[in-house]
Amino acid sequence: MTDLATLETDIQAAIARAENIGHLEEIRIAALGKKGSISALLKTLGQMSNEERLIQGPLINGLKDKITQAIETRKAQFSREAMRERLISETIDVTLPSLPQASNQGRMHPIPQVIEDMSFIFADMGFAIAEGPDIETDFYNFTALNIPEAHPARQMHDTFYFEPDDKGNRLLLRTHTSPVQIRTMENGKPPFRFIAPGRTYRCDSDRTHTPMFHQIEGLAIDKHIHLGHLKWVLETFLARFFELDNMSLRLRPSYFPFTEPSMEVDIQCSRAHGTLQIGKGTDWMEVLGCGMVHPQVLKNVGLDPELWQGFAFGLGVDRLTMLKYGIDDLRAFFDADLRWLKHYGFSPLYMPHLAKANLAGGGA
Ligand code: PHE
């Protein structure tokens, strides 16, 4: 009969010599497989006398258990080693700069990028961001803004209307972001200081008009807000947007039913030698409408105009983007031409210049 102790020593030595998992599996089959050496011994138990089996049974089964255990231990050792090797060979240096192509894929369209830049500047001045729906009711787009039925200002807006419902009410595509003034004041408590960027729609199309365009509305309501605040906010905003130290504005009297007094704001520019330069020269260019909120508008949202007052403005995002980046046809914004986007679009990693100034410790 095979000497159990010798067999055990042989198998244990083989296990210790095994160089890999495949090797180990061969040893396992040779010992514990169907035709393995230990399995053969187990089969001999059947032919033994009861007394002999009582002695040999535990010995052979004990050997089987010991070998099974030794194989498992060695196996675990192999997988730990394999893991350690993988960890060493697969290290990634996360501090390496990303591949230039990867960070350069795709371009941000100038409009959302500029809206983000503008919002950043206003946020820095303490303005929150409000939103309202593109599809509006007549009430929010006109009536609540002191533009009653049959007011000539309604005709000036070239409104897109939906089909009237059973009661004859027509929804419309908002013609300006001013309805967000009403919605936000209705749902909150004064003081207010917010901007509302968004899409606006008018039935109009040429080099400087598209049926869909973008505005940023601004509103500040408090107890002592006056025109000087409005002028400072606009000067500061426009200087920061055009990345200039300061900006000369011209405020011209104008008319909007929801502000009194109302003004249009021009920025200083030069068209000398066929190039447009902002912030210098003797020309002026209109960029936004604004004014002190009309007392009737305050009453319409339940505010007492004896107590509360403030300013509102509405600026054309597309127009200001064209001026800053020298884009001369507004319609190009909506052509979805990849070549145009590659030229005028922004890198996905672009950072607003104000953010960069703040990071540099400059503040503003
Ligand atoms: N809503 C006006 C427009 O679209 C702009 C504006 C907003 C004017 C707020 C004054 C105050 O033309």
Could you tell me which of 329, 324, 353 has the C-alpha nearest to residue 340? 329
For residue range 45-90, what is the model confidence (pLDDT) as tens digits?
889 999 999 999 999 999 999 999 999 999 999 999 999 999 989 8
Question: Of all residues in the chain, what percent carry a pLDDT higher than 90?
Answer: 69
> Is the shortest distance between the CB of 132 and ligand 1 below 6 Å?
no
From ligand 1's centre to the CA of 325, what distance in Å?
Answer: 24
Helix, strand or coil, per DSSP, at residue 98: coil
> 290 exposed, middle or buried (CB, 10 Å; 0-12, 13-18, 19+)?
buried
Q: Hey, which of 256-265, 334-343, 349-358 has the most confident mean pLDDT? A: 256-265
Alpha helices per DSSP H over the chain: 4-17, 21-32, 37-44, 50-89, 100-103, 110-124, 138-141, 152-156, 179-186, 227-241, 295-300, 317-325, 338-344, 353-359
> Is the shortest distance between the CB of 213 and ligand 1 below 6 Å?
no
Distances (CA, A) of 256 to 164, 197, 204, 267, 362: 27, 19, 20, 20, 39
Residue 29: CA count within 13 A, CB half-sphere? 6
For residue range 279-296, what is the model confidence (pLDDT) as tens digits?
888 999 899 999 999 999
Per-residue confidence band for 364, with pLDDT thresholds at 50, 70 and 90: very low
> Is the shortest distance between the CB of 256 and ligand 1 below 6 Å?
yes
CB under 8 Å to 195, separation ≥6 — which residues?
Answer: 118, 119, 122, 127, 128, 129, 130, 216, 217, 218, 219
Cβ–Cβ < 8 Å for 330, 209: yes
Q: Kindly report the pTM of this predicted structure.
A: 0.71
From ligand 1's centre to the CA of 230, what distance in Å?
Answer: 14
Cα-only R_g, the chain: 39
**DSSP state at residue 105:** S
Residue nearest to atom 10 of ligand 1 (CA): 290
> Is the shortest distance between the CB of 192 and ligand 1 below 6 Å?
no
**What mean pLDDT comes out for the span 260-287?**
90
Ligand 1 pocket mutation, candidates 194, 258, 287, criterion most atoms within 8 A of CB: 258
For residue range 88-130, what is the model confidence (pLDDT) as tens digits?
898 888 888 777 666 567 889 999 999 999 999 999 999 999 9
